[in-house]
């Protein structure tokens, strides 16, 4: 159990729950991004950080990309951190964009791999369209600046990269200002992203042997949350993210109650993005508002194994 040796000095006892309330030793984080999408750490650096915090397991959930997995797994084996294959998909819905996490997916599954490749190509074209909009609005910015903001990677470009480029060029003082002035939905340089439907996303995850979990439900309008959870549960969704850095205690309680009522599993994670979301910490979220016990990961793992067994022997 190498992760116990890696725990921070204040991280708690080697066995049992950590004594320090902010410590996350022995816990898991099922939502984190690397620079393969819109995080800022490499997969290796992300897993090294997880090991320093004493996390037992970490799901790498880059947007539309499973390319960080091999490197993250190599670091995880070296450091005693389990790395779970994850991906975050953007879903179109009449109530607004929602995000779906797929866990335990097979990165080699052809349909998933090909769909992700198409979504990433569309992201590249959208980044170019956003740059053109910004230039038409009189801002000095070029595609090279966006690629530089993505640390030279141009595979899964998103608005955080455009936002960082705007900051680097001195047009805004923060990533948040870039969204508020230019990039958020309804702002002048917003360009919509290619998205799957909920049914497509869930089927894609299941077809690749994984389980599908609704991410950060609080980003949906409040009145639409419960109907959407029900609608997605009816489509075969497996769980909902209950613990998340954007979720207040009352959000968590409500989401957990819906999960119980609908037979959905609970999941949780920080949604760590490195310096692209500087107030969110790996393993513990915002001000320690995320704590995820390994039991939630085990329940997701069991559900994924059951789905794969059922797919092999249809009744």
Cα–Cα distance for residue pair 81/47, rounded to 1 Å:
7
Residue nearest to Fe ion (CB): 99
Q: Measure the CA angle with vertex 236, ends 121 and 30; round to 5°.
A: 65
Q: What is the dihedral of CA 36, 34, 249, 253, to 10 degrees?
A: 50
Beta-strand pair 98-103/211-214: antiparallel
Residue closer to ligand AMP (CB basis): 193 or 286: 193
Residues making contact with ligand AMP (CB under 6 A): 38, 63, 90, 158-160, 176, 179, 184, 193
Nearest distance in Å: CB 164, ligand AMP:
11
Cα–Cα distance for residue pair 144/140, rounded to 1 Å:
12
Residues making contact with Fe ion (CB under 5 A): 38, 99, 215
Nearest distance in Å: CB 216, Fe ion:
6
Query: Which helix H or strand E contains 284, and what residues bound it?
Result: none
Residue closer to Fe ion (CB basis): 198 or 215: 215
The residues near 304 (Cβ < 8 Å, ≥ 6 apart) are 103, 104, 209, 210, 211
Positions 71 through 90 that interact with Zn ion (CB under 5 A): 88
Could you tell which of Zn ion, Fe ion, ligand AMP, none binds residue 139, using a CB distance below 5 to 8 A set by kind?
Answer: none
Residue closer to Zn ion (CB basis): 29 or 88: 88
Could you tell which of Fe ion, Zn ion, ligand AMP, none binds residue 224, using a CB distance below 5 to 8 A set by kind?
Answer: none
Residue closer to ligand AMP (CB basis): 28 or 183: 183
Residue closer to ligand AMP (CB basis): 56 or 146: 146
Q: Does 271 bind Zn ion (CB under 5 A)?
A: yes
Determine phi and psi for 80, rounding to 5 degrees: 75, 35
Determine phi and psi for 20, rounding to 5 degrees: -75, 125
Which residue ranges make up the site for Zn ion (CB under 5 A)?
A: 88, 271
């Amino acid at each position: 159990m190498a992760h116990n040796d890696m725990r921070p000095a204040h991280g708690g006892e080697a066995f049992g729950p950590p004594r320090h309330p902010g410590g996350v030793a022995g816990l898991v984080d099922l939502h984190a991004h690397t620079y393969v999408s819109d995080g800022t750490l490499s997969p290796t650096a992300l897993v090294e950080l997880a090991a320093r915090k004493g996390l037992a397991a970490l799901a790498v959930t880059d947007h539309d990309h499973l390319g960080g997995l091999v490197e993250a797994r190599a670091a995880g084996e070296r450091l005693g951190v389990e790395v779970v294959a994850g991906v975050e998909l953007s879903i179109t819905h009449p109530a607004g964009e929602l995000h779906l996490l797929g866990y335990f997916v097979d990165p080699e599954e052809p349909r998933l791999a090909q769909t992700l490749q198409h979504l990433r190509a569309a992201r590249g074209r959208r980044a170019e369209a956003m740059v053109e909009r910004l230039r038409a609005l009189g801002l000095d910015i070029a595609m090279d600046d966006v690629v530089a903001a993505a640390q030279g990677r141009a595979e899964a470009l998103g608005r955080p990269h455009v936002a960082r480029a705007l900051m680097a060029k001195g047009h805004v003082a923060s990533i948040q200002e870039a969204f508020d002035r230019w990039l958020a939905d309804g702002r002048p340089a917003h360009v919509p992203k290619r998205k799957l439907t909920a049914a497509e996303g869930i089927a894609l995850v299941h077809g690749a042997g994984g389980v599908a979990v609704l991410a950060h439900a609080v980003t949906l309008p409040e009145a639409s949350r419960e109907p959407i959870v029900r609608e997605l549960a009816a489509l075969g969704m497996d769980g909902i993210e209950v613990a998340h850095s954007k979720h207040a205690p009352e959000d968590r309680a409500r989401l957990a109650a819906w999960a119980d009522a609908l037979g959905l599993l609970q999941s949780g994670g920080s949604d760590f993005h490195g310096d692209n979301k500087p107030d969110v910490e790996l393993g513990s979220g915002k001000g320690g508002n995320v704590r995820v016990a390994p039991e939630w990961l085990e329940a997701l793992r069991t559900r994924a194994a059951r789905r794969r067994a059922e797919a092999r022997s249809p009744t």
